[in-house]
Amino acid sequence: MSDSDKLAALLGRVPRKPFEVVVSDDQGPVVIRNGPVLDDGTPMPTRYWLVGKQARLAIDRLEAAGGVGAAEAAVGPDELEQAHSRYAAERDAAVPAEWSGPRPSGGVGGARCGVKCLHAHYAWFLAGGDDPVGRWVARQLSNG
């Protein structure tokens, strides 16, 4: 089975944009890297997407237990703002120079500030991003 087929099975639909698997395990893709703009011109703020079933379930449980608020409390606002800036800079650098349509905005997962989604932070962290929230998530998962 191809990565596209595995991803379609995980998502329950065909991906809307070419992607690159950047983290995988014995079950298949865990994290994909999306292009900054979908084929129809829609901006894609979520550069790194957590698609692995087990990882998503673990983060779902962490979020349900108040993880978003706990992560925001554990990571200082300046450190979080810097992470959003690094994420946005990497994503924005992937927008073709000749692109004149709408551009993605925000930081991790499209958030302008704070923590919107632990899944996006953890995905970027697993892919090698310098994300303090992703590091916090990894610690929580290793303790649980």
Each domain of the chain, given as residue ranges in start order, spans 3-131
Give the containing element (helix H, strand E) for 32. strand 28-34
Tens of pLDDT, residue by residue over 56-95, are 999 999 999 999 999 999 999 999 999 999 999 999 999 9
- Residue 144's pLDDT is 64
Q: What is the mean pLDDT of residues 125-129?
A: 97
| CB atoms closer than 10 angstroms to residue 121 | 34
As a whole number of angstroms, the distance between CA 5 and CA 96 comes to 27
User: Of 25-29, 37-41, 56-60, which one has max mean pLDDT?
Assistant: 56-60
Q: What's the mean pLDDT in 98-102?
A: 93
Q: What is the mean pLDDT of residues 110-125?
A: 93
Residues 132/83, Cβ–Cβ less than 8 Å = yes
Q: Is 6 exposed, middle or buried (0-12, 13-18, 19+ CB in 10 A)?
A: middle
pLDDT value at 41 more than 70:
yes
Would you place residue 38 in the very low, low, confident or very high pLDDT band (cuts 50, 70, 90)?
A: confident
Distance between CA atoms of residues 83 and 86, nearest Å: 5
Lowest mean pLDDT among 21-25, 123-127, 136-140: 21-25
Neighbours of 96 (CB within 10 A): 9
Q: What is the pTM of this model?
A: 0.91
Asked whether the predicted pLDDT for residue 137 surpasses 70, the reply is yes
Question: 134 phi and psi, to 5 degrees?
Answer: -60, -40
